[in-house]
């Protein structure tokens, strides 16, 4: 009997460990002195040494990658999944709708809002439970009410991923508990976060430090699991994550001056490492980069070039040799780029054009390229097109030119 009880006890402990391994998510095992980590990273100027397996810093203005480490590798992302969950809910439901928690939602393990079967709560409050305390039970409750089921909601998530062009991202659940078919990349998670932050409601939720939800008419206080929110200058969201398969994850949005960045760290060994890595990357990015108006720079360069090279083109059989050039329209879409501060003064442009052309030359014909570089490093490259049309000479044109210039040529010959 004693042996049986002992075996039963061992089995119980084993099952509890398995449960923890399977459902751990955003549980607070570590206490972090965030201010100490901030101070330690303030003077970092060199490229930071990181523990995280995969990370990226993205400039929100132009989607330039300021730093990347395995940023396009497919990895598990734990509760950062809930960024997509929140967006799908916001775009497919009414926040003021009151819903009832199912047995399945109430039984979901890991980090929890604390739902019980039959609990009544608004979708708005579930959203705060999803993003602040990372409630897996809130995620399932939202999925069932918006998508009909976890599978149905996952279909909505994947459809949204496809719409956003996230080709290396796939969802199987609304909470992000480990699953082989549930993955993303640091880069695509940054792109998703950039999209999500354009939603005012989403941004307000992830930027909230503390919030009180009403559960069955009773108040429940929630605190945000994001350790950088309210502690690091400029941070305004967005989501933490942890599973044994994904390790520690953190997506952070931070704005200082005119620069607004998203920092993603995935696969850190501990919460302490994810905090350190995030701070290092954020401080490095703001100290290293600044915005540069490449549109104004290129337009001025081309204007000066045209003035200094009025007879550059020779257009065979062309009505004229006066050809104007224009830059690829992609310059209008990204007029501002991110450049390392120590390279700004050395930025230069180099133009490569076809000197000899054959008429007719049509407007928007490709005629060359323009490269922007700094200290031998290529920063950007743009195609150059004709901005005017040069038609081919006709017989009438040849006759007109003959009678226009021949008398003068004849007169000059006689005088000689």
User: CA–CA separation, 170 vs 193, rounded Å?
Assistant: 15
Contact 276, 228 (CB under 8 A): no
User: CA–CA separation, 300 vs 105, rounded Å?
Assistant: 60
User: CA–CA separation, 210 vs 225, rounded Å?
Assistant: 10
Per-position DSSP letters for 292-352, written without gaps between them: EEHHHHHHHHHHHHHHH-TT--EEETBS-----EEE-THHHH--EEEEEGGGGGGEEEEEE
Length of the chain equals 416
First to last CA, the chain: 132
Strands (E), 43-107: 54-59, 65-69, 98-100
With H, G, I as helix, E, B as strand and everything else as coil, classify residue 69. strand
Q: How far is CA 349 from CA 58, 299, 329, 372, 387, in A?
A: 25, 11, 17, 4, 20
> Is-catalytic flag, 220?
no
Task: For residue 68, give every residue at least 6 positions away whose Cβ sits within 8 Å of its Cβ, in sequence order, or none.
Answer: 55, 56, 57, 186, 187
User: Which of 41, 54, 79, 338 does the annotation list as catalytic?
Assistant: 79
Residue 61, classified by CB atoms within 10 Å of its CB into exposed (0-12), middle (13-18) or buried (19+), is middle
With H, G, I as helix, E, B as strand and everything else as coil, classify residue 57. strand
Q: How far is CA 134 from CA 24, 48, 83, 131, 401, in A?
A: 11, 29, 10, 5, 80
User: CA–CA separation, 2 vs 12, rounded Å?
Assistant: 15
> Is-catalytic flag, 120?
no
User: CA–CA separation, 414 vs 416, rounded Å?
Assistant: 5
The torsion angle over the Cα atoms of residues 144, 130, 204 and 248, rounded to 10 degrees, is: -130
Which tokens go with 292?
Answer: 């540069």
User: Which of 69, 76, 82, 280 does the annotation list as catalytic?
Assistant: 82
User: Which of 54, 134, 173, 278 does the annotation list as catalytic?
Assistant: 134
Contact 292, 347 (CB under 8 A): yes
Which tokens go with 246?
Answer: 């994904």
> Is-catalytic flag, 134?
yes
Q: Which residues are known catalytic residues?
A: 79, 82, 134
């Amino acid at each position: 009997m004693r042996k049986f009880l002992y075996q039963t006890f061992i089995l119980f402990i084993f099952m509890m460990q398995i449960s923890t391994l399977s459902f751990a998510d955003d549980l607070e095992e570590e206490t972090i002195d965030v201010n100490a980590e901030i101070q330690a990273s303030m003077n970092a100027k060199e490229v930071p040494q990181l523990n995280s397996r995969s990370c990226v810093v993205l400039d929100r203005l132009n989607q330039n990658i300021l730093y990347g480490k395995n940023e396009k590798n497919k990895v598990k992302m734990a509760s950062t999944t809930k960024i997509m969950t929140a967006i799908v809910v916001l775009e497919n439901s009414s926040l003021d709708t009151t819903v009832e928690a199912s047995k399945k939602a109430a039984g979901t393990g890991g980090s929890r809002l604390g739902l019980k079967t039959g609990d009544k709560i608004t979708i708005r409050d579930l959203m705060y439970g999803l993003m602040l305390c990372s409630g897996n039970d809130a995620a399932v409750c939202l999925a069932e009410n918006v998508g009909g089921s976890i599978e149905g909601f996952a279909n909505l998530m994947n459809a949204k991923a496809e719409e956003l062009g996230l080709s290396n991202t796939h969802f199987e659940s609304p909470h992000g508990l480990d699953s082989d078919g549930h993955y993303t990349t640091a880069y695509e998670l940054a792109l998703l976060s950039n999209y999500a932050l354009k939603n005012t409601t989403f941004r307000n939720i992830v930027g909230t430090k503390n919030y009180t939800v009403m559960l069955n008419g009773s108040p429940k206080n929630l605190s945000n699991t994001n350790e950088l929110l309210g502690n690091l200058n400029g941070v305004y969201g967005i989501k933490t994550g942890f599973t044994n398969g994904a390790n520690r994850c953190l997506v952070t949005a931070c704005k200082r001056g005119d620069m607004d960045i998203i920092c993603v760290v995935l696969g850190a060994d501990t919460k302490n490492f994810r905090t350190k890595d995030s701070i290092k990357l954020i401080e490095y990015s703001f100290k290293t980069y600044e915005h540069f108006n490449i549109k104004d720079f290129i337009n001025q360069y081309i204007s000066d070039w045209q003035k200094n090279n009025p007879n550059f083109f020779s257009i065979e059989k062309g009505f004229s040799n006066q050809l104007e050039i224009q830059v690829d329209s992609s310059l209008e879409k990204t007029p501002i780029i991110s450049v390392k501060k120590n390279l700004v003064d050395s930025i230069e442009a180099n133009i490569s054009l076809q000197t000899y052309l054959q008429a007719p030359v049509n407007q928007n014909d490709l005629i060359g390229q323009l490269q922007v570089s700094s200290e031998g490093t290529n920063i950007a490259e743009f195609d150059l097109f004709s901005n005017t049309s040069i038609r081919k000479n006709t017989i009438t044109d040849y006759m007109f030119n003959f009678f226009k210039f021949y008398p003068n040529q004849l007169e000059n010959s006689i005088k000689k």
